[in-house]
Structure 1
Amino acid sequence: MSVLSPFVYWAQNEDSLFIKVDLKDVQDPKINIERKRLHFLCKGVGAQGLQDYEFQLNFHCDVQENGNNFVKLSDYKIDLTLRKAEKGWWPRLTSQPQKPAWLKVDFDKWQSEDDVIEEDVGDIRDDYPNLYEKLMKEEYGYRKEDFKKVYLTLYNLFMYVGFMYITSVLCIRYAREGTDFFPTVYESVGHVMKYLQVKN
């Protein structure tokens, strides 16, 4: 039977690596952190259900082996914070250029560093915009747009078109009928106004 590997997400700053193991209800984790290698073994609930999961990462550069590394277990994930032996940005996590299929870049960690223990981490998008865009392109094949920005743009466009429709109908009716159409204003555009207010 082949060994099952969980989804593993990673991010970095200048002096640390952040690794998230996507497993729930982890039982008896065995985590071995060496200078050039991380070995992980446990029973937990992952993509294949409740199974034994295992993986090994051979690092691109060295990490510290002493007590400067942190492991945080929760009901739905395991977070590891590993200190780099020497400060600097790694071009990739593993020693091999080809990354395993289960290893992903953790873009959420780069957007919000709230979970990092005792760290004051900057936003990589501001400090290294080219590196961030390159990693996004490698991971997704395109630059992922911020969901909130896309949503707000489409929402505002929809509202603009709706209110332009209402204004146009009112102006045209007023030009044709004058003040005689005032009693029927709500009948002509009321349904559109209600719909736009529900969207608000």
Structure 2
Amino acid sequence: MAAGAETLTPFVYWGQKTDHVSLKIDLKDVVNPKVDLTEDGLKFEADGTGIRGHNLYQLDIDFYHPVDPDKSRYRVLDRCVDFYIQKTGSGEVWPRLTNQKIKYPWLKIDFDKVAYEDESESEAEEQKSAEDVMKQLEKELQLDSADAPDLPDLKTVYLFVYNLFQFVGFTFISFTLLVNFFKNKEKAMSSGFNLVGNPFMVCQTAAIMEILHPVLGLVKSSAITPLLQVLGRNFILFVVILHEENTQTAPLVFFLLLTWSSIEVFRYPFYMLAVLNKKIYAVTWMRYTLWIPLYPLGLFLEGKQLCKSGWKMKHEKK
């Protein structure tokens, strides 16, 4: 089919018997159809609603063999334009509709209107032709399905979005802390919680889902490790730091928040790739190498924060 760059072509479903070809042009609400059916081909143009919405659609087909336009007919229906095209000659089954052996993405097989080699053949020959046709149909379906993208399931989408949300959140927190530290070291260390306290609490609240993921079967891991990590970190954040305003301005809190967020910046990209069954060496390396100094450092700072808060509470009672 010869068509300009802006030409819209509708889906066409075709089938055949030994004496005629059936065409169904998949257009709704067709207006002003222009049909030029000759022995060698069909030219069609009409306004209608198709795969690209309501537009002008055009079609230009060169047939595999000549047809008889005088004995052919068509009708405009609400949901399509239906053609009955009479074959000429001895009534053989066409191997394809078009003259050129090209796979057109808009041309489909009409499963209800498929002919066999010779409907007057013996039963064995007819069954063989039927098998050939089914193989051809299977091939068409494989080609069509190969063009369709594989869509991820709901679980994959959710896990990817969750990890992406956490990655963006902790990246923002780390970036904010570091930028303010290099601008004004003393002020940044005393205002760390004031700068990123709210987004940090949002991310840590969302992290509770990591306890539920293995329970719900979304990930294949134990719920004990995230339970200890999330609840321990949330206790320090929401109970110790949030309720003791005097500790929020301490440099210890600044370095604790920076260490926590740095751990997650390298952890969540690894999980995002794992959800998609992808692996990038650099991300895997950072996930398991930077973990070695950051996790012990985080545990040390958490312990120091607990000890400091406990000492303050004891001192205030006295």
Compute the TM-score of the two structures, normalised by the length of structure 2.
0.38
How many angstroms apart in 1 are the aligned matches of 2:60 and 2:26?
15
> Residue type of the partner of 1:130?
E
Corresponding residue of 1:28 = 32
Q: Secondary structure at the match of 1:141?
A: helix
How many angstroms apart in 1 are the aligned matches of 2:76 and 2:69?
19
Select which of 75, 78, 81 maps to 1:78: 81
> Residue type of the partner of 1:134?
K
Corresponding residue of 2:131 = 130
How many angstroms apart in 1 are the aligned matches of 2:134 and 2:29?
34
> Residue type of the partner of 1:48?
R
CA shift, 1:127, in A, is 7.9
Corresponding residue of 1:46 = 50
Q: Does 1:7 align with 2:8?
A: no
Corresponding residue of 1:187 = none
> Residue type of the partner of 1:2?
E
Residues 17 and 113 in structure 2, CA contact (< 8 A), matched pair in contact too: no
What CA RMSD, in Å, does the superposition of the two structures yield over aligned residues? Answer: 2.4
CA shift, 1:130, in A, is 2.4
Cα deviation 1:16-48 (Å, max 9, x = unaligned):
000000000000101111111100100000011
Q: 1:133 to 1:141 in 2, by over 3 A?
A: same
How many angstroms apart in 1 are the aligned matches of 2:38 and 2:47?
21
Q: Structure 2: which 5+ runs fail to align?
A: 116-125, 144-318
Normalized per residue, which structure has more strand? 1
How many angstroms apart in 2 are the aligned matches of 1:51 and 1:61?
31
Corresponding residue of 1:154 = none
Q: Secondary structure at the match of 1:69?
A: strand
How many angstroms apart in 2 are the aligned matches of 1:45 and 1:127?
40
Cα deviation 1:119-167 (Å, max 9, x = unaligned):
xxxxxx858312321221221129xxxxxxxxxxxxxxxxxxxxxxxxx
Q: Secondary structure at the match of 1:129?
A: helix
Corresponding residue of 2:281 = none
Cα deviation 1:59-98 (Å, max 9, x = unaligned):
11110121x1120211101110000112110111001111
How many angstroms apart in 2 are the aligned matches of 1:55 and 1:130?
31
CA shift, 1:100, in A, is 1.4
Q: How many residues align?
A: 130
Corresponding residue of 1:103 = 107
Residues 47 and 56 in structure 2, CA contact (< 8 A), matched pair in contact too: yes
> Residue type of the partner of 2:82?
D
CA shift, 1:109, in A, is 3.0
Q: 1:24 to 1:127 in 2, by over 3 A?
A: farther
CA shift, 1:108, in A, is 2.9
How many angstroms apart in 1 are the aligned matches of 2:26 and 2:128?
28
Aligned residue runs from structure 1 range 175-190, under 5 A: none
How many angstroms apart in 1 are the aligned matches of 2:113 and 2:53?
25
Q: Secondary structure at the match of 1:107?
A: coil
